[in-house]
Structure 1
């Protein structure tokens, strides 16, 4: 064998040993197929903490290392750098609650293109080609359930009703608002005055309630589409001295929301099952990793909680820690 041939063979062996046969677009490093990462919509929120508990329990039981990284605000500009950082580590799977149904498509596609299995939990993208599976409550059904519950609370009285939403482009809350609007139209005694966005900030929800009360003195009901808007709406009604006079139906069962329901600041809550969402997300991610059949869309339970049946449904209360 000539000296030139030996050099070429040695170079080829070295290239193979260093992983030079990797595909274009490889983010570098072999990654860890036995690791899963959860990227919730926002940090320190009981809904996502409960989801994290289900995620950690299921992934650890299946032998996966786990990591949880959440943005400080429900915002695509804060969630995108987290996705980029996780991409560099190349875990086997990422469970993510996208904070914008369009803006997060690019970053999440990078995960998929790197060979990482992507599972959507809670929220989802408009683009259905990226995630292997989506696990979420039936949010339109939740909105319809909220409207029926509010109509029962009102009991035939006439008046105006308001929806407080979070941010436009949030798939879950937009679906809840749509379901509510569709169902409330079946109750001619209730006049729907539309929805208002709060940027997911409780103080904005409180001020929107106050302003709506001024413009619509006959306001008889408010549907708050998530935890923060519900807590803010309760504050707004309390400040206006209209607690109980205006029926407040919230979405989610955080400790504060449950306390408000017990105390009469909230008349009903539409509770999700975030622990099951997290657990099911892990199950679908494992199926995708192991080449088993994956369910593209999985819907989890919702239940209407009132003061009368609150304790009987305590399993739906959200957690502040695992």
Structure 2
């Protein structure tokens, strides 16, 4: 248990952070924190994993041990360690962070981070994040940094939404408008934390990475419709010697870690015989991304430029409350 100093939210209360498999040792204790209720509150259904899967990953499957399985006559293995950090006030979850360490790449993948709406003042989310990264560095001293997915935002679309709101004085946003603004706000939050985005040095635009469908139980004809495009953001661990490698190496490692070691292997391991087609599909999609970017000159850059900062300033002036 770690105490988080400071006064945050609507009242000054002692805050602490507990971690699965350190302070929270079993399913009853995990569910008893209320973290799954908070998870449901913070993230829309399309972005959430099954609570039962989360419990299994955190407490049974991704516990730092080598897991092996066979698919298509080939032997595969992977080694993951997933942890959930739970920020509590009076023993109840008000924040969460879900991270997975991949031993093959020494990368940490940030799955989800969130703080309850009424507790977001005073820099609490940032302080919570910094505490989590400090613990992760202690748990996994070989790690070279944290990588995460961010949904791309359309700058022209964001500008059009903001301009229309300024012109009409409208306060209510449609669902698609909220989604587009949230994409910008999420990118801004990670940008402020010091994350960089992988960019194409020729076009100076963030590289797109296509994620396989997350539901192998769907008919294979539906998998393509379940794919999503993301930007990948990266934050090197302070002082990590290997963090001096070219951006292209980090890109290749990050894509393989997220979409093969963490995603595809975990999903196929649940049913190796029944999910061979999914394995072939997922690995082929990842290989396509690798091939398309193999000769791309890359660099790491701030996600938001001056134009984006101007849009954010105009958005703040509208004073519309939209949680991310």
Using structure 2 for the length normalisation, give the TM-score: 0.25
The structure having more radius of gyration, on CA atoms, is 1
Using structure 1 for the length normalisation, give the TM-score: 0.25
Higher strand content, 1 or 2: 2
